[in-house]
Amino acid sequence: MTPNVLSVISAMAEVVMSKPEGTLALPLKPVVTISRDYGSGGDVIATRLAQRLGVDLFDEQILKQIAQRLHEDPVTVKLIDESVGRAKDLWFYRLFSGKEVGIDSYRDTLVKVVMSLGRLGGVIIGRGAHVILSDACALRVRIAGSVEICAERMVQGHHDDLAKEIEKAKDINHRRGKFVWEVFHSRLSDAHQFDVSVNTDRMDDFEDVVEMLQGMAGAIHSGRVLRKT
User: One digit per residue, pLDDT tens: the chain, 229 residues?
Assistant: 444 444 443 444 454 444 544 455 788 999 999 999 999 999 999 999 999 999 999 998 898 898 888 777 777 777 777 666 554 455 555 555 555 556 677 788 999 999 999 999 999 999 999 999 999 999 999 999 999 999 999 998 776 789 999 999 999 999 999 989 988 889 999 999 999 999 999 998 899 999 999 999 999 998 776 666 5
pLDDT for the residue numbered 22: 46
Q: How far apart are CA 215 and CA 4, in angstroms?
A: 36
Beta bridge pairs of residue 36: 143
pLDDT for the residue numbered 1: 46
**CA distances in angstroms from 226 to 79, 80, 133, 229, listed in the order given:** 37, 35, 13, 9
pTM metric for this prediction:
0.81
User: What is residue 143's DSSP assignment?
Assistant: E
DSSP track, 148-194: HHHHHHHHHTT-S-HHHHHHHHHHHHHHHHHHHHHHH---TT-GGG-
The percent helix, strand, coil of the chain (3-state, each to 5) is 55, 10, 35
pLDDT for the residue numbered 123: 98
Domains of the chain: 28-221 (3.40.50.300)
Give yes or no for a contact between 45 and 34, defined as CB atoms under 8 angstroms apart. yes
Q: Residues 219, 203, 125, 228: what is their CA dihedral angle, to the nearest 10 degrees?
A: 30
pLDDT for the residue numbered 7: 46
| Among 143, 62, 144, residue whose Cα is nearest residue 106 | 62
pLDDT for the residue numbered 60: 86
Task: Categorise residue 122: left if φ over 0, alpha if ψ from -120 to 50, beta otherwise.
Answer: left
